[in-house]
Amino acid sequence: MRIDIISVVPDILTSPFDVSILKRAIEKGLVEIHIHNLRDYVTDNYKQIDDYQFGGGAGMVMMIEPIDKCISGLKTERNYDEIIYMTPDGKTLNQKTANTLSLKENIIILCGHYKGVDQRVRDHFITREISIGDYVLSGGELAAAVLCDTVIRLIPGVLGNETSALTDSFQDDLLAPPVYTRPAEYKGWKVPEILTSGNFPKIEAWREEQSYQRTKELRPDLLDED
């Protein structure tokens, strides 16, 4: 998979890809991340990427030309399956969208800033608009990093243990069961006995029940959806 991220503050996007699982995925050649500074695509002398909005009103709007130059240039190099715009008024990201995107070959992610982009960018280039929740961030970069993390970890070979992504919370619309590690007793706080019993069918049944109970208590909305 190849992901091109277009941003006006590309520095925000260096560390997420420079540590841990995402770094290893890049090193293994399972994903390529290319970060583009939108200012490199500005032709006017003032390096202006935003301007006042037509009709008046507070806040600047990202201009179409640098975005067009960047996206159109990329599109001459390869076909893109998705051109995603990160925006608080997009569709809220969930596991299903992450699963879908993890199967794509080439993706562009455009990070919004200020009042957002000129609507014509959305109308003519964007295939999908994604938000990461009902709150406002200063820009789309942190949201883009969240999106990349959730997608990249699903690419086969990225996680050491192939089955572990499948048992995550939300993968089957249930929260994950509680987990424990050594010691079996700490300050008198004991690990549930079933987990040290060695009876794996019973352990599996216990985990399923715990998942269901946790979901019922903490996220009953997940059980209503179908």
Instruction: Please give the backbone phi and psi of residue 153, each rounded to the nearest 5 degrees, phi first.
Output: -65, -15
> Which one, 27 or 134, has the nearer CB to ligand 6GU?
134
Neighbours of 70 (CB within 10 A): 21
For ligand 6GU, which is the closer residue by CB, 1 or 93?
Answer: 93
For residue 14, the one-letter residue type is: T
Q: Which is nearer to ligand 6GU, 89 or 209 (CB)?
A: 89
How far apart (Å, rounded) are the C-alpha atoms in residues 224 and 226?
A: 7
Question: Which residue, 53 or 167, is less far from ligand 6GU as judged by CB?
Answer: 53
Residue number with CB closer to ligand 6GU (9 or 26):
9
Closest to ligand 6GU by CB, 62 vs 132, is 132
Q: How far is the CB of 118 from ligand 6GU (least distance, A)?
A: 16
Minimum distance of ligand 6GU from residue 145's CB (angstroms): 10
HEC sequence for 12-65 = HHCHHHCCHHHHHHHHCCCCEEEEEEHHHHCCCCCCCCEEECCCCCCCEEECHH
| Residue number with CB closer to ligand 6GU (112 or 177) | 112
In the complex, the residues that contact ligand 6GU under the rule CB under 6 A are 86-88, 112, 131-133, 135-137, 139-140, 143
Min. distance of Cβ 144 from ligand 6GU in angstroms? 7
CB of 193 to ligand 6GU, least distance (A): 43
Parallel/antiparallel/unpaired status of strands 185-186 and 189-190: antiparallel
CB of 139 to ligand 6GU, least distance (A): 5
Minimum Å gap between C-beta 140 and ligand 6GU is 4
The least distance separating ligand 6GU from the CB of residue 2, rounded to whole angstroms, comes to: 21
Name the phi and psi angles at 208, rounded to 5: -60, -40
